[in-house]
Each structure stands twice: as C-alpha cells, then as structure tokens.
Amino acid sequence: MNRKSVLVAFILCSVFQLNAQIDTINMGGVTVIRDHSDTIVQEEKKPLFKKLNSKVRPRTIKTEWMILDLGVSNYIDRTDYSKTDVSAYAGAGANEEWFHTRPFKSRNVNIWFVMQQLNLVSHVANLKYGLGVELNNYHYNQPIRYSAITEPVANSQVIRLDETPGRVYRKNKLAADYVTVPLMLNFNFTPYSLYSFEVSGGISAGYLYSSRNKTVTSDEGKKKERGDFDLQPWKLSYVGEATLGFFTLYASFAFKNMYTRGLDITPYNVGLRIRPVDFFNKLEAR
C-alpha cells in the first residue's frame, strides 16, 4: 500500500470517528449538539411576525380600540370671489391665493376611541361603526387672520389680510376639531386570513366642538383666536378605507361647504390608519 492510500484511509477514519462522537438532536425548535467534550444548545430564532398564510377564526363582533389616523388635510375651493357676500365675510380684495394651504404642513390626526365590525353575511359583508375625534389643521401661506364675532352685527367681517409692516409669520393655521361617528359597509375578501384584504365605504357625521386660528409672528409671538368663525356646526362626509395585510389607508370627503356663509370650501382628508390591536395580533408569540 503506497503512502497516498494510507493518508486517504487515515482521513476517512478520522471523519467517521468525528461523526460518531457528535450527535445533533432537534426538540421543539431547540437544537442540541452533543459531543464528548461539550453540549451546545441552540434555540431556533422565531420570526417577528406570524406567517402570511396564518388563519384566524372571525368573530361576529370585532372590537378595536384607540385607532390612530395620520394624514393630510386640504380642501377644494369653489368660491366666487366676485360676490359681495365674500367681501362681507373676508373683506375687499379677498381672493383664492389668500386661502392656499401648505400641503405638507396641513395635517389631519384622527383618534378613534373604539371601532366595531358586525358580521352581516358570512364574515364577508360587515357593518363597521365607531366613535372618535377628527383634528384638522389648515396651514396658510398668506397672513390672513380670523376674528371671533363679538359685536351683535349680522354678517360682520371675520377674515382680514394682515399687512402690518415688518411683521413676519412663522405659523398661521386654522384648526377645526370634530367629534365624529362613522358608519361603513365593509367587505372582507379574505375573512379567514390573518393578513386580510378589505375595503369599506360609507358616511360619517361630525360635530364641531373646537375651532381656532393660531398664529406665531415675529412681534406678537404665539396667539390663539377662538370662535366658530361661521363654520358649519355639522360636518357630513363620505368616508372609506382599504386594508391590505399590515396597511390601512383612509379617506374622507365632505358633502358640502365647511362655512355657513362667504366662502365655498369643501374639505377632504387622506392618510394612513394605524390599528394597534390588528398589529399586535400579527406578532409571533414569544
């Protein structure tokens, strides 16, 4: 037997001996590696979220708490600025440019204290309803100011353009907050899947409980003017949402003008809906 054959035989014997000395055992996701010198325990790493094909047992009534919406607020301006009622409300010279908003500053935040979904037909068609608050912030480019009506004069001026020499505006926004009840028809196309595909549509009714004009200027600092500013006390809107897996998008579009007189402005909101209960249900148990 030549030297090469002896070397190959020695290597093969060493490998066989090593395999005989090392045992690998899998028990409930835990790997135990045992040899003559030591025992190594390796716990299998679990994924953060459950698998995409995970199934659920749908309930007749599903309740979610403290849903948060983060989006943008804006509006469509159909005002005819040549009319006398516009100048009576916003002063002479009012024009569409006065009411242009800053799109990335004008934000919508909604907090839904509770949202429920009631099964109607095989968990595919459902009735969805809830209760929450809508917080709308319209940030203006122009230095317009709102004034609360204090004098007993019918149809007095509410808005004016601030032309104070040297005054610089760092912030100028109108905030309009509503207590809102949405009512929607929901269609869940994958009712037994944890990562569902759903669409909902319906209406909402909101009551204006707070409105204010907040400004921050170079000479006055921070100021707030509170009043209803002849805004509509009720806001009726078309509402909708779409869910795919983790993500839910929402939108709302008001039926009509948000002002009782003067301006003709219809608000809308779009954004991302954050559902904590739904999110935590998708986490893998630890």
Tokens linked to 216:
């921050």
- Alpha helices by DSSP H, the chain: 3-21, 84-90, 276-281
Task: Name the band, by pLDDT with cuts 50, 70 and 90, for residue 31.
Answer: low
Burial of residue 251 (CB within 10 Å: 0-12, 13-18, 19+) is middle
Q: From the centroid of its chain, how far is CA 85?
A: 37
Q: Does the structure show a pLDDT above 80 at 4?
A: no
pLDDT in tens, 181-226: 999 999 999 999 999 999 999 999 999 999 999 999 999 999 999 9
Burial of residue 228 (CB within 10 Å: 0-12, 13-18, 19+) is middle
pLDDT in tens, 89-148: 999 899 999 999 998 899 999 999 999 999 999 999 999 999 999 999 999 999 999 998
Q: Does the structure show a pLDDT above 80 at 7?
A: no
Q: What is the pLDDT of residue 20?
A: 47
Q: What is the pLDDT of residue 14?
A: 55
pLDDT in tens, 44-82: 677 888 898 889 999 999 999 999 999 999 999 999 999
Pairwise CA distance, residues 233 & 276, whole Å: 31
End-to-end CA distance of the chain: 59
Tokens linked to 128:
């969805």
Q: Does the structure show a pLDDT above 90 at 13?
A: no
Q: Per-domain residue ranges for the chain? A: 3-43, 61-281
Pairwise CA distance, residues 226 & 139, whole Å: 16
CB atoms within 10 A of CB 206: 24
Q: Could you give the 3-state DSSP secondary structure of residue 185? A: strand
Pairwise CA distance, residues 71 & 268, whole Å: 10
Instruction: State the average pLDDT over residues 6-17.
Output: 54
- Give the range among 30-44, 151-165, 236-250, 254-268 with minimum mean pLDDT: 30-44
